[in-house]
Amino acid sequence: MNKFGYSLSPASVINLDNADKIKFKELIDLEPDVLKCMACGSCVSSCSAVNFTNSSLRSAILSLQNGLPEKAYEYLKGCMLCGKCTMICPRGINTRRLIISIFQTYNFKK
């Protein structure tokens, strides 16, 4: 069989029924503003760390909602906590406090 440079990759399906939502519920109790996020991407567009890391609060929140804390950590570990995203958020979310709460809830080490 000839190879044309394409290969099959495993599906990236997330079974939300099997996702652990307990930690996310703890995060909601600690920081209810996480539910205000509409994933508009304003925080990412204002982020200075994006040019050097894979930082994305929006993607981190979506990963946590889908039960993927390891992936969320990868999005947050480059955050410098400068606060630009807090100033630009159209929903008025204190993103610095939210990021700190995520690290506390999920026991991430910075």
Structure confidence by residue, pLDDT tens digits, 36-87 = 999 999 999 999 999 899 999 999 999 999 999 999 999 999 999 999 999 9
DSSP 83: -
Given this model, what pLDDT does residue 38 score? Answer: 95
Given this model, what pLDDT does residue 32 score? Answer: 96
The helix (H) or strand (E) run that includes residue 30 is helix 22-30
Task: Please check whether residue 58 is in contact with residue 44, taking contact to mean a CB–CB distance below 8 angstroms.
Answer: yes
pLDDT at 2 > cutoff 90: no
> For the chain, what are the domain ranges?
22-105
How many other C-beta atoms can be found within 10 angstroms of the C-beta atom of residue 73?
18
The pLDDT-based confidence of 110 (bands split at 50, 70, 90) is low
Q: What is the pTM of this model?
A: 0.83
The pLDDT-based confidence of 3 (bands split at 50, 70, 90) is low
Tally of residues, the chain: 110
Percent of the chain whose predicted confidence (pLDDT) is above 90: 75
**CA separation for the pair 14, 84 (Å, rounded):** 32
pLDDT at 4 > cutoff 70: no
